[in-house]
Amino acid sequence: MRHLLSISDLNKRDAVLILDTAVELARASDGPMKKLPTLRGRTIVNLFAEDSTRTRISFEAAAKRLSADVINFSAKGSSASKGESLKDTALTLQAMGADAVIIRHGASGAAKRLADSQWMSGSVINAGDGTHEHPSQALLDAFTIRKHLGKGKSDLDGISVAIVGDVLHSRVARSNVLLLSLLGAQVTLVAPPTLLPVGVESWDAKISYDFDSVIPQVDVVMMLRVQAERMSELYFPNAREYSRYFGLNRDRLKLMRQESIVMHPGPMNRGLEITAEVADSARSVIVEQVANGVSVRMAILYLLLAGDSLGAGGAL
Amino acid sequence: MSSVLSAQEISRALIRISHEIIEGNSGASEITLLGIPTRGAHLAHRLAQIISGITGSQVAVGTLDTTLHRDDLRSKPPRALMPTIIPSQGIQGRHVVLVDDVLYSGRTIRAALDALGGIGRPKTVQLAVLVDRGHRELPIRADYVGKNLPTSKSQIVSVHLSEVDGSDEVLIEEGPA
Amino acid sequence: MKRYLLSGGSLPDGTKTDLLIDDGKIENISPHIADVKAEVIDISQSIILPGLVDLHTHLREPGKEDAETVLSGSRAAAKGGFTAISAMANTSPVADTAGVVEQVFRLGQEAGYCDVFPIGAVTQGLLGKTLAEIGAMADSLAQVRVFSDDGNCVDDPVVMRHALEYVKKFNGIIAQHAQEPRLTLGSQMNEGIISSRLGLKGWPAIAEEAIIARDVLLADHVNSRLHICHVTTAGGVEIIRWAKTRGIQVSAEVTPHHLLLTDDLATSYDPIFKVNPPLRTQTDVMALREGLADGTIDIVATDHAPHPTESKECEWQEAAFGMLGLESALSIVVQTMVESKLLNWSEVADRLSIKPAQIAGYSTQGQEIAVGALANLTVINPSKSWRVDKDLLASRSRNTPYHGYEFPGVVTHTFFKGIATVANTEIVARDSV
């Protein structure tokens, strides 16, 4: 496998391999010299057509720790500002000798279009395409859950997760539902009816409109970001009503199980979907998610790129 | 396929190496044994047991995976990583004894030295191997050797250990034509 | 004018016969015609159909000639067996005045490969606010009778009502592109299980069904004729069926791609499958086929929508909506309707020639194959098949979703007013008429 475009491209063995490799890489990076020579001589391009400091920096750190050369290409293409087309950008990257392109783009399917096209020959890693998927985020989320609640198992069998918020527009939700259920976890989606897509009944997840009744039943509460723009798009009356029913606040924190944890892919809207008190509480692993992100992304880069650059490549 | 070391011979070799390590370092208190997975790791743990039997105190022992530092990564599919577990005594300023089953081209040991460099600065680095089969491609040598085994490059040396393969034995056979 | 003797073919009803064409007309129909002066064409395995008539074609001229022109579109039409096409009004400038429709009409005549009947806009600029000069267009050289804002929906019910009323004076018909715009803002593909997984904004079926329901009731209330463009939903078929049982004067069309393709093709994110209205589910496809078979859907219309390569060689969201259709239409009908025994050849002639001409009032087209009729004829060999190659199409554009597909049924000859525009599957170049 040359690319990582969607969680649905992985089987359970691949997913566990990524997590296990991340464990070892986290250990290796804990030493005094964080660098490993493994991807020396490789050129990795961050093609970010959408603003995202945190994901870009995370991938950049991962690539650099493996001694790869990193080039940042901030291409504001597509709808708003008609920049260079995706095709022309890809042809440029090919000419630059990119071994891998990490692409974040506002259009769903952009990573797959890049991978399926004949425009460039490197590996394509989806760092978030529109409202479709964000595979590395789901992998670092699973890594985090396994670390806290896995009890030494290789998968997430027996763990229950609630994903709460704007599922309709969330690529993090889509990737997480696929990965969590692949690893054996039970997923419940909690959202106002307007923010659940038609067709969600076909997903491998339960659905609930009642946050309070779900909280005591789960080991993980994963909050999704609610974008301010959604308010004006008439999905719910106002921020107050949204927070009242779907915000994670102190009262709801009290309903959580003993060992359970709070997660958020970031960036947070403190006060809207999650209060500052909860975000900073002992149950929250939000900051740790960021650190885990680097190890997981190192694992992805290692497994896709460290091998034979001419052949089928990849351990996956 | 013929046997070049029996279980008994392996056991004697490990006992002899253990004495040599203690003698070469004037005691075992500053030694950290690091086995290279998979079989080197098991051998390191055996040596640690034998040494602590002789000295009466625990020996620092762990594992060191060399995969990330290999120089042949680009010609093969990426391998799964094995655990690197450094004991609590660490390696800083200590005598690190790397342990592996077979010493051949020397490239694995070169990678191990690189990996050590990323962790700290040992006082010395020494090498113990069960079998040295010659044909070095780098200037690497072992300090403690179980058996020197002259081989031709076409031959395959297989080390079996009971922890992994069910029995202890070292075998040699002709490779594919 | 050449004399042609089509020898050994069959009429749509199955009668084996020879057919003699001369002076633009059908001169004789009988078995074993002997005629030394005529060029004999052996069509022994083939069916003779009345020339196909398309009520929904985008020719892009004026304004987007890089995608298609009236000339290239006419050639593509002839290749597909069409002797008449209807040029939709969403050109640039919009065909909402006599001037533009006459220009398109003249270009069609100059090209000479088929009749090009311009369709006039319903509203000025296709903006859906005020009526276009329907009278002027009707009285122009182009004699427009079909009016459509296709591309856009006439969504204001008051405007639609007045359009349905006003067009009666000119014996015209309003062809509605049924799409409630507020329910489909930014929509990319059918709303359903696939769109939920792909993260592409959905285009719900009800946005089409709601407009169809409203407009059949409006048409009934003001006693006017209504035509529904490209029906794509099972619900839409049901509503039209109900309307017809009530005697409402509604006609409807289905495109070839909606008889064949489904929304799971979007999984590749290849925008060659991006079209408006979108590809739907297998349930919808089956309902459309049944509707076409029982006559609830009256005709097949291609919605031929050429686009330049850069409009499809990009992310889905950026890509233009639309697929080519003229050259593959008849083959798709053969594969989905004839081979499955849902339609016989007489019914094919009805759905693709006779009925379209009747709805639009094209008196020189869609005639029964009879002695004395104009020789607008299509010859198809159903036992041969062909492979679609996007680089070998007659259209100026390449956006066909069928590249590499193997289709049954080869159009070997097309006759437009007695002149062979296609012979032995190749286009015959016309000198300027």
In this prediction, residues A72-78 reach a mean pLDDT of 69
Asked whether residue A313 carries a pLDDT value surpassing 50, the answer given is: no
Residues A11 and A97 in one domain: yes
User: Which A residues in the span 173-202 are in contact with C, Cβ-Cβ below 8 Å?
Assistant: 174, 197-200, 202
CATH 2.30.40.10 fits C4-48+372-396+403-427, yes or no: yes
B120–A32: do the CB atoms touch at under 8 Å? yes
The answer to whether residue A101 sits within a structural domain is yes
Question: What residues of A are in contact with residue C193 (Cβ under 8 Å)?
Answer: 199, 202
- Measure in Å the smallest separation between the Cα of B83 and chain A Cα atoms: 6
In this prediction, residues C136-165 reach a mean pLDDT of 98
A78–C199: do the CB atoms touch at under 8 Å? no
Q: Is A258 on the interface with C (CB under 8 A)?
A: no
CATH number at residue A283: 3.40.50.1370
In chain C, domain spans:
4-48+372-396+403-427, 49-360
Q: Is A3 on the interface with C (CB under 8 A)?
A: no
A307–B77: do the CB atoms touch at under 8 Å? yes
The answer to whether residue B157 sits within a structural domain is no
Question: What residues of B are in contact with residue A302 (Cβ under 8 Å)?
Answer: 68, 78
pLDDT of the residue at B20: 97
Provide the ipTM: 0.89
Asked whether residue A226 carries a pLDDT value surpassing 60, the answer given is: yes
Q: What are the DSSP E strand ranges found in A113-232?
A: 123-129, 160-164, 186-190, 206-208, 220-223
Instruction: Find, in chain A, the residue whose alpha carbon is nearest to that of B73.
Output: A307
Residue of B81, B84, B119, B121 to mutate, testing the A interface (most A Cβ within 10 Å of its Cβ): B81
Question: What residues of A are in contact with residue B79 (Cβ under 8 Å)?
Answer: 315
Residue with tokens 């987007």: C64
Residues A277 and A153 in one domain: yes
Gap between the Cα atoms of A13 and A30, Å rounded: 26
Instruction: Find, in chain B, the residue whose alpha carbon is nearest to that of A27.
Output: B84
Interface of B with A (CB under 8 A): 65, 68-69, 73-84, 114, 117-120
Q: Is A87 on the interface with C (CB under 8 A)?
A: yes
- Measure in Å the smallest separation between the Cα of B120 and chain A Cα atoms: 7
C200–A199: do the CB atoms touch at under 8 Å? no
Residues A195 and A120 in one domain: no
Residues A107 and A31 in one domain: yes
In this prediction, residues C224-233 reach a mean pLDDT of 98
Question: Is A43 considered catalytic here?
Answer: no
The answer to whether residue A2 sits within a structural domain is no
The domains spanning C4-48+372-396+403-427 and C49-360 adopt the same CATH topology: no
Under the banding of pLDDT at 50, 70 and 90, the label for residue A89 is: confident
> Residue C223 in 3-state DSSP?
coil
In this prediction, residues A93-104 reach a mean pLDDT of 92
What is the span of the domain harbouring residue A31? Answer: 7-133+290-305
The total number of residues written for chain B in this structure: 177
What Å distances lie between residue B77 and A6, A21, A121, B87, B107, CA to CA? 21, 14, 18, 30, 18
What Å distances lie between residue C417 and A67, B50, B153, C82, C430, CA to CA? 74, 104, 84, 12, 13
In this prediction, residues A297-312 reach a mean pLDDT of 79
The answer to whether residue B82 sits within a structural domain is yes
| Touch of C by A (3+ CB pairs closer than 8 Å) | yes
Minimum mean pLDDT among A72-81, A306-315, C56-65, C96-105: which range? A306-315
pLDDT of the residue at B29: 94
Residue pLDDT tens, chain B, 177 long: 899 999 999 999 999 999 999 999 999 999 999 999 999 999 999 999 999 999 999 999 999 999 999 988 888 888 889 999 999 999 999 999 999 999 999 999 999 999 998 899 999 999 999 999 999 999 999 999 999 999 999 999 999 999 999 999 999 999 886
Residue predicted with more confidence, B144 or A267: B144
Cβ neighbour number for residue A61 with a 10 Å cutoff:
19
The answer to whether residue A174 sits within a structural domain is yes
Asked whether residue A316 carries a pLDDT value surpassing 80, the answer given is: no
Residues A189 and A257 in one domain: yes
Q: What pLDDT digit, counting tens, does each position of A210-222 carry?
A: 999 999 999 999 9
Long-range contact list for A29-32, CB < 8 A, 24+ apart?
A29/A65, A29/A294, A29/A295, A29/A298, A31/B118, A31/B119, A31/B120, A32/B118, A32/B119, A32/B120
pLDDT of the residue at C432: 47
Asked whether residue A135 carries a pLDDT value surpassing 90, the answer given is: yes
Question: Mean pLDDT in chain A?
Answer: 91
Q: For A107, which of C191, C268, C316 is closest by C-beta distance?
A: C316
Residues A86 and A203 in one domain: no
CATH number at residue B88: 3.40.50.2020
Q: Which chains, if any, share at least 3 CB pairs under 8 A with chain C?
A: A
The answer to whether residue B44 sits within a structural domain is yes
Question: What residues of A are in contact with residue C204 (Cβ under 8 Å)?
Answer: 198
Residues A157 and A123 in one domain: no
Q: What pLDDT digit, counting tens, does each position of C255-288 carry?
A: 999 999 999 999 999 999 999 999 999 999 999 9
Question: What residues of B are in contact with residue A312 (Cβ under 8 Å)?
Answer: 77
The answer to whether residue A122 sits within a structural domain is yes
pLDDT of the residue at A315: 56
The answer to whether residue A13 sits within a structural domain is yes
What Å distances lie between residue C177 and C152, C181, C209, C316, CA to CA? 6, 11, 11, 22
For the entire predicted model, the pTM comes to: 0.91
Q: Please, what sign has the CA dihedral across residues A211, A212, A217, A220? A: positive
What is the span of the domain harbouring residue B96? Answer: 7-152
What Å distances lie between residue C220 and A202, B102, C225, C246, C360, CA to CA? 40, 91, 8, 9, 19
Number of domains in chain B: 1
Question: What residues of C are in contact with residue A174 (Cβ under 8 Å)?
Answer: 197, 199
Question: Mean pLDDT in chain C?
Answer: 97
Asked whether residue A42 carries a pLDDT value surpassing 90, the answer given is: yes
Under the banding of pLDDT at 50, 70 and 90, the label for residue C433 is: very low
C315–A109: do the CB atoms touch at under 8 Å? yes
Selected catalytic residue, list A104, A112, A132, A297? A104
The answer to whether residue A80 sits within a structural domain is yes
β-pairing verdict for C250-254 and C226-228: parallel
Asked whether residue C212 carries a pLDDT value surpassing 90, the answer given is: yes
Number of domains in chain A: 2
Interface of A with B (CB under 8 A): 17, 20-21, 24-25, 27-28, 31-33, 35-38, 302-303, 305-309, 311-315
Under the banding of pLDDT at 50, 70 and 90, the label for residue A312 is: very low
Q: What pLDDT digit, counting tens, does each position of C336-374 carry?
A: 999 999 999 999 999 999 999 999 999 999 999 999 999
Q: What pLDDT digit, counting tens, does each position of A170-189 carry?
A: 999 999 999 999 999 999 99
Catalogue the active-site residues of C: 303
The answer to whether residue B24 sits within a structural domain is yes
Would you say C397 and C364 are in contact if contact means Cβ atoms under 8 Å apart?
A: no
C315–A200: do the CB atoms touch at under 8 Å? no
Q: For C269, which of A112, A131, A174 is closest by C-beta distance?
A: A112
Q: Per CATH, which fold does C49-360 belong to? A: TIM Barrel (3.20.20)
Gap between the Cα atoms of B175 and B45, Å rounded: 31
Residues A220 and A206 in one domain: yes
Question: What residues of A are in contact with residue B122 (Cβ under 8 Å)?
Answer: none
